[in-house]
Structure 1
């Protein structure tokens, strides 16, 4: 959904630059960013600007560029006019929740703010129709006035009124503070806040929601639920559980989560394995396709590569690093692919120890909902995989990664390993806390396949011409191909390199060639699959020519890749890397990369033709 009501230029021309205060705009951006739980670096990554640019905006030293404002509006979930002309009352976040699942409705609530006053009934339109059980539902709101940042809540179908003089709840210390508790269901419930405050004196680590602790109403029919609203250092939250389930405190007593006996473990059985060499050599796209399929969304690896634009990617790092092959290293392709499938997503990057506890609880809930989070660095090396389950109430996480086949092969005859596999239903343990996690949320109406094709072609044009961000050492697009070819022709380096350095560069080159070959194979497959979508004969001709072009490119890359010396074979046989990877082979590959760049330029022209006829 787009939140800019006018085009940015129309808005600025309409209000005049003199009416825009860079200090107020900066404070507003800072507040909205923090409300979304984003660091300056994470917001910068979404906007394709540097973290320094974000810092300058937030300190009032500069304003965002006009072209950046629509992206900023979408990232912060606020209209452009709300950002550039801040009112004294602003809704930082509005979350519909039943204590187990939640939906961000900030963009639906903000239009109700008028003359620095919010008044609305938290009625049916805000809540998904799929939430049909009798669990109590409520709206959590965090807002800012000149006096500070506050939070409040209102149960479903109740009136919420806030103005600049309203004193809501302020975030507390390290330990949570329960501010409200209700027991019952949507038809009949009562406040049990006083009871909960009494029970807090016992410092329980957990308790069971029961009629002993919370007597049910005489006229209550159906299941009863306990709903708790609490504050911690991060803001306002809600958690609920059905009668008979347990509410647990986190070890530091900063948050609450529900669990029942069946939730000591949860494994999504039947999740296929991931691996390289199966025409899905982009580990991120493979994990994403697996996660989508687990939810019953009909898709394929090549479609994920096409919808996301990852099929057009090429990146390179001047020190020759394996991470160049990571699909998200220079551009977050998860953003367009989630938009293409109509899926909301939560992203967590490089979380600190205190943030991990809350993120783990969200991961466990996702798994119980049948949603597989995707993450990088789960096992062995930093590649993407999916979290498929948990044991011991979440103390052990399970996964599918791109390195599983090696482990299963090595330990096939190990009785201890096989005993573990019976418990985990054939899923391996997560060894490391991932440094990037993407959790896929609710699905709404998605764009058409034709709209997704056009979006993919636009990404192609942008990604090949893009410059690396100011805070990144990676090159992308044509720059990457040029840098890679230059590295292959650096005769002085190869003459001076020792065997270890030579071996590493050979291995990185092999890995990057695998990624590029796979990407262009996916591009050709996606384009061929998309041919029936266009009806205009001129569009169809250009798209068909483009499909053939990428088929040719994929064949050239595949031939080169198959002729490259295999680092695994060289290591196994003890062959010298410098003797295996010859100067002529490197020169031929450099020539091929130049040929690829030439074909890419032809692809750009054809993509522009298709888009010009939309």
Structure 2
């Protein structure tokens, strides 16, 4: 008997197992998302004409969907840790009387691979008690019934449930060794006979096979002797990388971009580099630890680079100290120096370390180098200018084919003029020590009174003063041509974005730091400072969101002069004067906190 509620629940479960949203499933079936929602809530059943498409989309037989049993195989993947076959429908045919029993191998999957890697079947199944995962190696018996309790993920981090080293002819479990190595929180390791000794008499190629659980289910990954496996930044996935000199790509690095709550490109890149090597942190913490949350810089010629976090004060130095990292910096290298530097970059990539660099693509903003192809002749990256390229070439088949090769990363277009390579990690200072260091950076960077002799940029209160003067230079705006006026409007918008982002991070960092301070006077000063920067962040964010957006003006063809009036510039100058007053109070409170340390 078909029960619509049970059918709906089964469709929802199978859809989620396939990683599809209701909208995505609806698109595959040429129906509305509302129709899918009605099925899943048991309000209606799929039409007969839709059932073949639904069966194909979910990779389950029509009977399995309409007449769900108490034991159902949601997913069955036959794999060698590199390639895989979805054999869900076939495996479900072996379920009889709510019991599954089979021995996976070439007799069941004749079109699988003939290499000597270990092969296994990964199964996710559902019983009345819940959803579980399990696995079985090739040529071994798998038995499951409604009372079988398999593996369930209990952590956001992956859990390695099995590890084998060898090949189909001879292999051994190395689960205890992997448990030992996990203690060291490695970000990657190479499969060698030193780590995983080979069996005596095994003359063939050895492979490391790892089976692990995460919140998405059960997975397997393998690599040959001499190749590497690395963890994703949040330690939820494992990836195999080539150790050969031909190519090496660090997978799973998310995209960067403005407007995503990470508008300091250096801090965004630094956050990626830290999380890729397993450091637990956030963008706001990077901004706070480094002191970049206090940044404000201005260039009297109105240049975009004033928004760069390192243009006046090198916040990367306190950042590395706060996280216990050594670092090597390379600035404006001569051509003859670049060969050695590139070799060092390639080695960093092989070690799972992301170099930070500015001017990788399009314009001078920070990003990270994520890998290389063709023995290093091609470098790959994440930058703050990737989204436009992805959108423009979304339908380009050749581009998409290359993205599969590059793991979704774009090429580095030009040699960066500034690089930061993060080295070894030692014991980091405490969070309280980092707070004090950050406040000292604030006082130092905000109170720089004059322009540097070697730089046209101003920092801190001097920057706010020059910025205000530039906004109130009415004769300049009256005489400027359209191009110069539009450029200044755009630079002003970019610098306000950077300031609003920085003070938002300052407020968040101070709030998170309050529990670190226990002295009553010190805590009162820090609490007032937290409130002060929360108010400042709100003012700046509100003003920034109401500013004319140069990108929208260009799209609509609106006149810049009509959109950025004298009164608006005067209002911004008043806001910056208010910010300066609040910053002076912030300095006083920071000095109080430090004096009581």
Is TM (by shorter chain) over 0.5?
Answer: yes
Q: Which residue of the partner structure matches residue 244 of structure 2?
A: 262
- For residues 191-202 of structure 1, what are the structure 2 equivalents within 5 Å? none
Instruction: Give the gaps of 5 or more residues in structure 2.
Output: 1-183, 195-224, 228-240
Number of aligned residue pairs:
369
- 1:570 matched to 2:548? The reply is no
Q: Which residue of the partner structure matches residue 342 of structure 1?
A: 324
- 1:403 matched to 2:385? The reply is yes
Rounded to whole Å, the distance in 1 between the matches of 2:309 and 2:251 is 27
- 1:457 matched to 2:472? The reply is no
Q: Say if 1:331 and 1:244 are closer, same or farther in 2 by CA, change over 3 A.
A: closer
What SS is found at the alignment partner of 1:523? helix
TM-score by length of 2: 0.60
What is the root-mean-square deviation of aligned Cα atoms in Å? 2.5
Deviation at 1:244, TM superposition (A): 9.1
Deviation at 1:559, TM superposition (A): 1.1
Rounded to whole Å, the distance in 1 between the matches of 2:579 and 2:259 is 22
Alignment partner for residue 494 of structure 1, among 468, 473, 477?
A: 477
Rounded to whole Å, the distance in 1 between the matches of 2:254 and 2:553 is 31
- 1:325 matched to 2:290? The reply is no
TM-score by length of 1: 0.58
Deviation at 1:551, TM superposition (A): 0.6
Rounded to whole Å, the distance in 2 between the matches of 1:603 and 1:436 is 32
What SS is found at the alignment partner of 1:359? helix
What SS is found at the alignment partner of 2:245? helix
Q: Which residue of the partner structure matches residue 507 of structure 2?
A: 524
Does the aligned pair in 2 maintain the 1:330–1:468 contact within 8 Å?
A: no
Once the two structures are superposed, residues 275-301 of structure 1 have per-residue CA deviations (whole angstroms, 9 ceiling, x without a partner) of 111111000000001100000001110
Deviation at 1:537, TM superposition (A): 1.1
Deviation at 1:407, TM superposition (A): 1.1
Does the aligned pair in 2 maintain the 1:397–1:429 contact within 8 Å?
A: yes
Rounded to whole Å, the distance in 2 between the matches of 1:608 and 1:465 is 12
Alignment partner for residue 366 of structure 1, among 336, 345, 348?
A: 348
Rounded to whole Å, the distance in 1 between the matches of 2:555 and 2:344 is 43
- For residues 13-412 of structure 1, what are the structure 2 equivalents within 5 Å? 262-412=244-394
Rounded to whole Å, the distance in 1 between the matches of 2:526 and 2:274 is 27
Rounded to whole Å, the distance in 1 between the matches of 2:527 and 2:552 is 39
Rounded to whole Å, the distance in 2 between the matches of 1:471 and 1:566 is 33
Alignment partner for residue 539 of structure 1, among 519, 522, 526?
A: 522
Q: Which residue of the partner structure matches residue 492 of structure 2?
A: 509
What SS is found at the alignment partner of 1:345? strand
Once the two structures are superposed, residues 168-204 of structure 1 have per-residue CA deviations (whole angstroms, 9 ceiling, x without a partner) of xxxxxxxxxxxxxxxxx9xxxxxxxxxxxxxxxxxxx
Rounded to whole Å, the distance in 2 between the matches of 1:395 and 1:525 is 42
Once the two structures are superposed, residues 409-428 of structure 1 have per-residue CA deviations (whole angstroms, 9 ceiling, x without a partner) of 11111111111101101011
Rounded to whole Å, the distance in 1 between the matches of 2:244 and 2:298 is 47
Q: Which residue of the partner structure matches residue 580 of structure 1?
A: 563
Does the aligned pair in 1 maintain the 2:226–2:243 contact within 8 Å?
A: no
Q: Say if 1:521 and 1:261 are closer, same or farther in 2 by CA, change over 3 A.
A: closer
Once the two structures are superposed, residues 325-365 of structure 1 have per-residue CA deviations (whole angstroms, 9 ceiling, x without a partner) of 00000011110000001100000000011110000000000
Rounded to whole Å, the distance in 2 between the matches of 1:457 and 1:360 is 36
Does the aligned pair in 2 maintain the 1:384–1:401 contact within 8 Å?
A: yes
Deviation at 1:261, TM superposition (A): 6.8
What SS is found at the alignment partner of 2:266? helix
- Structure number with greater Rg is 2
Instruction: Give the gaps of 5 or more residues in structure 1.
Output: 1-127, 135-184, 186-242, 246-258
- 1:601 matched to 2:584? The reply is yes
Dislocated runs of 4+, deviation >6 Å? none
Does the aligned pair in 1 maintain the 2:251–2:407 contact within 8 Å?
A: yes
Does the aligned pair in 2 maintain the 1:376–1:437 contact within 8 Å?
A: yes
Q: Say if 1:526 and 1:244 are closer, same or farther in 2 by CA, change over 3 A.
A: closer
Rounded to whole Å, the distance in 1 between the matches of 2:559 and 2:481 is 11
Rounded to whole Å, the distance in 2 between the matches of 1:574 and 1:312 is 36
Rounded to whole Å, the distance in 2 between the matches of 1:337 and 1:418 is 37
